[in-house]
C-alpha cells in the first residue's frame, strides 16, 4: 500500500533549490526562435549583422557566388595543381559522359554537353573544392527507366529528348527551391543504409543492362528487374556475338587491373583515371584497323561538332507528359542531391573545411536549370570523378573549369575521332565504375552494428534488383520513415539504479552493480513526449510499476511508495504529453503512490506551468536532480508515518 493519504510535515528537504520556471516569452519571439532553429541552424545571416548596405551586397554576392570569395587569393601554385587535376578528370569525364548518355538512352553527344556547361556554373556557385561535376549512372538509369515507361525512345526520340531536358529543368528548380527555402533536411530522410542499398541495387541493375553491349545484342528488354534482364539475355543466345564479348571482357579486365593497381599504389592514381580514355582510344583503333564494325561490333557513329545548342524552347510543359517530367525530375533530383552533398561533405571532412548543404543545393539546382536550357541532362558530383579530382591534388573548383575547357576543345575539334568507338568499350567502362558501388564491406558493417539498418539496406537493394529502381527507392524510404516513426512512437524507458558510493543514477541494464532504492522506482524517459508516443508511455510506465510491485511483493521487501520520472532527456512536450502525465498522476494517486519528477527542462517546465500541472503535482515534488528526488523520498519514508486512512478513499478501498 502506498502513501497517497499520508500527511507530510514541513522538512528541510523542501528548502532545497527548486526547478525554475522560465520567464514568460512572447509568442512572436518563440515562433521566431523555432523557425530559426528549423530553417537556419547554421545562422547564415550572422555575417550581415552591423554591416553597411554596400558591404551586405558584397557579402551576399560572395554567399551565392563563392568564387568571388576565394578568387582574389588564387595563386599560380593553385593553378598548376588545378590544371593537372582538371586534365585528369577530363580524361575520365569524356568517356564516362558518352557512356552514361547511352545508358540514359540519349544521344552520346549529350554526355559531352553535360560535362561542359554545368561544371562552369558549379565552379562559380559551389562551395566544395573537390567535387567534380558530371553525369552519373544512377540518375541516367532512372531517366531511362521512368521516361521509357511513357515514351518509346525508338519510336519518338525527339519527344524523349525533350522530356529529358524538361525533367532536368524540374530537378534543377526543385533542388534550388530546397536550398532557397532552407529545406535541405528533407534529403536527410535518405539514411546512410538506404543510400548504400539503393546505390548497390542500382549498380547491379546498370551492370545487368550492359550485357546488351557486351554480348552485342540489338534488341533488349526495357525492364530493369533481374528476371526480365536474364530472360532477355538467355532467350537470345543465338544472337550473342563472340567478337563483342571478347572485346568487352578484355577491356573490363584492363580497367579492373588498373583500378587494383592504383589502389595498391595510391601515388599512381592517374593510371586508373586514364584507363577509360585509353580504352576508348585503343578500342577505336582496333575497330578502325580490323573493320570490326562489319562483324557485329557496334560503334557510336557520327558525333556532330560544336558547342551546346540552346534547348529552352524544347522544354515540354503540356499534359500528359508534364506529370512524367515532374515525377522524374523530383526523384532524380533527390538522388543527385543525396549523392552530391554526401560526396562533397566526405572530401570536405578530409581537408578540414566546411560546405553549406543549402548553398550546394542552390548550386546544383542552378547548374541543372542552366543545363536543361543548353542541351544537358541531369548532373551532380559523382564519387568516382570527385575521388580522381581529390587524388590529383585539386585546390579549388578551377579544376572543373579546366575540365570544361578540355571538353570544349573535344566538342569543337575531336568528336569525329569517336566515330569508331565500340559500344562494348562504353559498357565495360560503365561496369567497371559500377562495381565500385557494390560496397559489401559497408553492408557487413551495418549487420555488425545495427541489424535494422542492414534490413533497410537489403530491402532497398532487393527492391531495385527484383522490382524497379523507383520501387526500390520507395521501399527504402518507407522503411527508413517507419523506423523514424518507431523511434518517435516507441521511445526508450528504463529503470535507474544508484551507483555505489555516489549520487549518480544510471540504467540498471547497463551498470549491473547499481542498487535499487527501497520503496522508490526511478524511471527515465529517453525522448521528447509527443502525441505519437504519449499513449505508449502511459502504458509503459504502468507496466514498470506493475513489474516493480510484483517483484517487491515476491521478495517481501518494502512496498512501493514513490515513482520518480527523470525528465532530463525530454526536450519538449506537447498537450497530449501533458494529458498523459495528468493521467499517470491520477493512476498513481488511485494506487496510493506518489509521482515525483526530476530534472525537467525549460521548455517542459514552461508548458507544465501553463497547463497548471505543477499545481496539481506540487512544486515540492519537482526536483533538480534524481539524487535530490531520491533524498526527498527517502526522508519521507524514514520520518513520516501514515495517518489514518479516510473512509471511502482509494487507499481505504484497496485494503
H/E/C letters for each residue in 4-23?
A: CCCCCCCCHHHHCCCCCCCC
Q: Which of residues 429, 461, 483 is at a domain's end?
A: 483
pLDDT value at 287 more than 80: yes
Measured from the Cβ of residue 141, the count of other Cβ atoms closer than 10 Å reads 25
CA–CA separation, 363 and 123 (whole Å): 9
**Which pLDDT does position 42 carry in this prediction?**
67
Q: What are the percentages of helix, strand and coil residues in the chain, rounded to 5?
A: 65, 5, 30
Task: Using pLDDT thresholds of 50, 70 and 90, give the confidence band for residue 538.
Answer: very high
* Helices and strands per DSSP (H, E), number in the chain: 27, 6
Q: What is the mean pLDDT of residues 563-585?
A: 94
Which conformational region is residue 501 in: left (phi greater than 0), alpha (psi within -120 to 50 degrees), or beta? left
DSSP 506: E
Task: Using pLDDT thresholds of 50, 70 and 90, give the confidence band for residue 115.
Answer: very high
Task: Indicate if 462 and 506 belong to the same structural domain.
Answer: no
Pairing of strands 493-498, 520-525: antiparallel
pLDDT value at 11 more than 60: no
Alpha helices (runs of H) in 419-501, residue ranges in sequence order: 423-435, 440-449, 451-466, 469-489
Q: Which of residues 483, 513, 538 is at a domain's end?
A: 483
Note the Cα 135 to chain centre separation in Å.
20
Could you tell me the residue range of the domain that residue 371 belongs to?
A: 76-483
Task: Indicate if 558 and 601 belong to the same structural domain.
Answer: yes
Q: What is the mean pLDDT of residues 510-523?
A: 92
**Which pLDDT does position 484 carry in this prediction?**
82
CA nearest 241: which of 222, 218, 220?
218
Task: Using pLDDT thresholds of 50, 70 and 90, give the confidence band for residue 12.
Answer: very low
Q: Tell me the pLDDT tens digit for each residue of 384-443.
A: 888 888 888 899 999 999 999 999 999 999 999 899 999 899 999 989 988 888 888 999
CA–CA separation, 167 and 314 (whole Å): 12
Judge whether 393 and 85 are in contact, CB under 8 Å.
yes
Better pLDDT: 56 or 184: 56
Helix 76-103 with 398-409: angle, nearest 10 deg:
60
Q: Tell me the pLDDT tens digit for each residue of 442-470.
A: 999 999 999 888 988 899 899 989 988 77
**Which pLDDT does position 15 carry in this prediction?**
53
Instruction: Calculate the average pLDDT of the chain.
Output: 87
Is 42 inside any structural domain?
no
CA–CA separation, 639 and 636 (whole Å): 5
CA–CA separation, 545 and 588 (whole Å): 9
CA–CA separation, 218 and 200 (whole Å): 27
Output the CA–CA distances (angstroms, integers) from residue 362 to 66, 124, 226, 373, in the order listed. 12, 12, 36, 17
CA–CA separation, 328 and 192 (whole Å): 22
**Which pLDDT does position 613 carry in this prediction?**
94
pLDDT value at 186 more than 80: no
- Comparing 35-44, 167-176, 280-289, 435-444, the range with the smallest average pLDDT is 35-44
Q: What is the mean pLDDT of residues 344-369?
A: 88
pLDDT value at 94 more than 60: yes
In sign, the C-alpha dihedral spanning 614, 616, 619, 622 is negative
Task: Indicate if 227 and 368 belong to the same structural domain.
Answer: yes
Task: Indicate if 513 and 441 belong to the same structural domain.
Answer: no
pLDDT value at 614 more than 70: yes
Task: Indicate if 519 and 540 belong to the same structural domain.
Answer: yes
Task: Indicate if 561 and 629 belong to the same structural domain.
Answer: yes
Task: Using pLDDT thresholds of 50, 70 and 90, give the confidence band for residue 541.
Answer: very high
Q: Which of residues 483, 501, 519 is at a domain's end?
A: 483
Q: What is the mean pLDDT of residues 546-570?
A: 89
**Which pLDDT does position 564 carry in this prediction?**
96
Judge whether 524 and 568 are in contact, CB under 8 Å.
yes
Helix (H) or strand (E) holding 187, with range, is none
CA–CA separation, 306 and 411 (whole Å): 5
Task: Indicate if 441 and 517 belong to the same structural domain.
Answer: no
Q: What is the mean pLDDT of residues 70-83?
A: 92
Better pLDDT: 579 or 298: 579
Strand order, beta sheet including 493-498? 505-507, 493-498, 520-525, 562-566, 594-598, 622-623
Task: Indicate if 500 and 443 belong to the same structural domain.
Answer: no
Better pLDDT: 646 or 143: 143
CA–CA separation, 630 and 505 (whole Å): 10
Biggest alpha carbon–alpha carbon distance for the chain: 109
Q: What is the mean pLDDT of residues 254-265?
A: 91
Task: Indicate if 206 and 293 belong to the same structural domain.
Answer: yes
Task: Indicate if 226 and 353 belong to the same structural domain.
Answer: yes
Domain count, the chain: 2
Judge whether 564 and 521 are in contact, CB under 8 Å.
yes
- The CATH number for 630's domain is 3.30.750.24
Output the CA–CA distances (angstroms, integers) from residue 375 to 275, 409, 526, in the order listed. 28, 17, 53
Is 258 inside any structural domain?
yes
Q: What is the per-residue burial (b if ≥16 Cβ within 10 Å, else e) of 90-116?
A: bbbbbbbbbbbbbbbbbbbbbbbbbbb
Lookup result for grid cell 537489403: 458
Note the Cα 288 to chain centre separation in Å.
46
Task: Indicate if 499 and 625 belong to the same structural domain.
Answer: yes
Q: Please, which residues have CB within 8 angstroms of residue 290's CB and are 6 or more apart in sequence? A: none
3-state secondary structure of 526: coil
Is 644 inside any structural domain?
no
Q: Please, which residues have CB within 8 angstroms of residue 373's CB and are 6 or more apart in sequence? A: 165, 169, 310, 311, 312, 315
pLDDT value at 634 more than 90: no
Is 651 inside any structural domain?
no
Task: Using pLDDT thresholds of 50, 70 and 90, give the confidence band for residue 279.
Answer: very high
Task: Using pLDDT thresholds of 50, 70 and 90, give the confidence band for residue 565.
Answer: very high
Is 470 inside any structural domain?
yes
Is 189 inside any structural domain?
yes
Q: Please report, rounded to a whole number, the percentage of residues in the chain having pLDDT higher than 90.
A: 49
**Burial, 633: exposed, middle or buried (Cβ in 10 Å; 0-12, 13-18, 19+)?**
buried
Is 70 inside any structural domain?
no
Is 428 inside any structural domain?
yes
Within 13 Å and on the Cβ side, how many CA atoms surround 369?
A: 12
Output the CA–CA distances (angstroms, integers) from residue 465 to 144, 201, 202, in the order listed. 16, 6, 7
DSSP 129: S
pLDDT value at 14 more than 60: no
Task: Indicate if 337 and 472 belong to the same structural domain.
Answer: yes
Q: What is the mean pLDDT of residues 282-291?
A: 91
Amino acid at each position: 500500500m502506498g502513501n497517497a493519504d499520508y500527511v507530510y510535515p514541513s522538512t528541510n528537504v523542501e528548502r532545497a533549490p527548486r526547478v525554475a520556471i522560465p520567464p514568460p516569452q512572447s509568442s512572436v519571439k518563440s515562433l521566431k526562435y523555432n523557425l530559426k532553429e528549423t530553417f537556419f541552424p547554421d545562422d547564415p545571416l550572422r555575417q550581415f549583422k552591423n554591416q553597411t548596405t554596400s558591404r551586405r551586397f558584397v557579402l551576399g554576392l560572395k554567399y551565392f557566388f563563392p568564387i568571388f570569395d576565394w578568387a582574389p587569393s588564387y595563386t599560380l601554385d593553385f593553378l598548376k595543381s588545378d590544371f593537372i587535376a582538371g586534365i585528369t578528370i577530363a580524361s575520365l569525364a569524356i568517356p564516362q559522359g558518352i557512356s552514361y548518355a547511352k545508358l540514359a538512352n540519349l544521344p552520346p553527344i549529350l554526355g559531352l554537353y553535360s560535362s561542359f556547361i554545368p561544371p562552369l556554373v558549379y565552379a562559380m556557385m559551389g562551395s566544395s573544392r573537390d567535387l567534380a561535376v558530371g553525369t552519373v549512372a544512377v540518375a541516367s538509369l532512372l531517366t531511362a527507366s521512368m521516361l521509357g515507361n511513357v515514351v518509346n525512345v525508338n519510336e519518338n526520340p525527339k519527344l524523349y529528348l525533350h522530356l529529358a531536358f524538361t525533367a532536368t529543368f524540374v530537378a534543377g528548380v526543385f533542388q534550388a527551391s530546397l536550398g532557397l527555402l532552407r529545406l535541405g533536411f528533407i534529403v536527410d530522410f535518405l539514411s546512410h543504409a538506404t543510400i548504400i542499398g539503393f546505390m548497390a541495387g542500382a549498380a547491379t541493375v546498370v551492370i545487368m543492362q550492359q550485357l546488351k553491349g557486351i554480348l552485342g545484342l540489338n534488341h533488349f528488354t526495357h525492364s530493369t528487374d533481374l528476371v526480365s534482364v536474364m530472360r532477355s539475355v538467355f532467350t537470345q543466345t543465338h544472337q550473342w556475338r563472340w567478337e563483342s564479348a571478347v572485346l568487352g571482357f578484355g577491356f573490363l579486365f584492363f580497367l579492373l587491373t588498373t583500378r587494383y593497381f592504383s589502389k595498391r599504389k595510391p601515388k599512381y592514381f592517374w593510371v586508373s583515371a586514364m584507363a577509360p580514355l585509353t580504352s576508348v582510344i585503343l578500342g577505336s583503333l582496333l575497330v578502325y584497323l580490323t573493320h570490326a564494325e562489319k562483324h557485329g561490333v557496334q560503334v557510336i557513329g557520327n558525333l556532330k561538332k560544336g558547342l551546346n545548342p540552346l534547348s529552352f524552347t524544347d522544354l515540354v510543359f503540356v499534359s500528359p507528359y508534364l506529370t512524367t517530367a515532374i515525377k522524374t525530375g523530383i526523384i532524380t533530383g533527390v538522388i543527385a542531391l543525396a549523392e552530391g552533398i554526401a560526396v562533397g561533405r566526405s572530401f570536405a571532412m578530409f581537408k578540414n573545411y566546411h560546405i553549406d548543404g543549402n548553398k550546394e543545393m542552390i548550386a546544383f539546382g542552378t547548374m541543372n536549370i542552366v543545363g536543361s536550357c543548353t542541351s544537358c541532362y541531369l548532373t551532380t558530383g559523382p564519387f568516382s570523378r570527385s575521388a580522381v579530382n581529390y587524388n590529383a591534388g585539386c585546390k579549388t573548383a578551377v579544376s572543373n573549369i579546366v575540365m570544361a575547357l578540355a571538353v570544349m576543345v573535344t566538342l569543337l575539334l575531336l568528336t569525329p575521332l569517336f566515330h569508331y568507338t565500340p559500344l562494348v568499350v562504353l559498357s565495360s567502362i560503365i561496369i567497371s565504375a559500377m562495381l565500385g558501388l557494390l560496397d559489401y564491406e559497408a553492408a557487413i558493417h551495418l549487420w555488425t552494428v545495427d541489424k535494422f539498418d542492414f534490413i533497410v539496406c537489403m530491402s532497398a537493394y532487393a527492391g531495385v534488383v527484383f522490382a524497379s529502381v523507383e520501387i526500390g527507392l520507395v521501399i527504402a524510404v518507407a522503411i527508413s520513415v517507419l523506423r523514424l516513426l518507431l523511434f518517435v512512437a516507441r521511445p526508450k524507458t528504463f529503470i535507474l539504479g544508484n551507483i555505489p558510493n555516489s549520487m549518480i543514477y544510471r540504467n540498471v541494464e547497463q551498470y549491473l552493480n547499481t542498487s535499487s532504492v527501497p520503496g522508490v522506482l526511478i524511471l527515465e524517459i529517453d525522448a521528447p513526449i509527443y502525441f505519437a508516443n504519449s499513449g505508449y508511455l502511459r502504458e509503459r510506465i504502468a507496466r514498470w510499476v506493475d513489474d516493480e510491485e510484483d517483484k517487491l511483493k515476491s521478495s517481501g521487501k518494502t512496498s512501493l511508495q514513490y515513482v520518480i520520472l527523470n525528465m532530463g532527456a525530454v526536450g519538449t512536450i506537447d498537450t497530449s504529453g501533458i494529458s498523459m502525465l495528468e493521467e499517470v498522476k491520477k493512476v498513481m494517486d488511485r494506487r496510493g503512490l506518489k509521482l515525483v519528477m526530476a530534472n525537467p527542462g525549460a521548455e517542459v517546465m514552461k508548458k507544465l506551468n501553463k497547463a497548471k500541472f505543477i499545481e496539481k503535482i506540487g512544486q515540492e515534488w519537482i526536483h533538480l536532480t534524481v539524487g535530490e528526488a531520491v533524498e526527498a523520498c527517502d526522508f519521507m519514508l524514514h520520518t513520516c508515518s501514515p495517518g489514518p486512512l479516510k473512509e471511502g478513499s482509494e487507499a481505504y478501498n484497496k485494503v
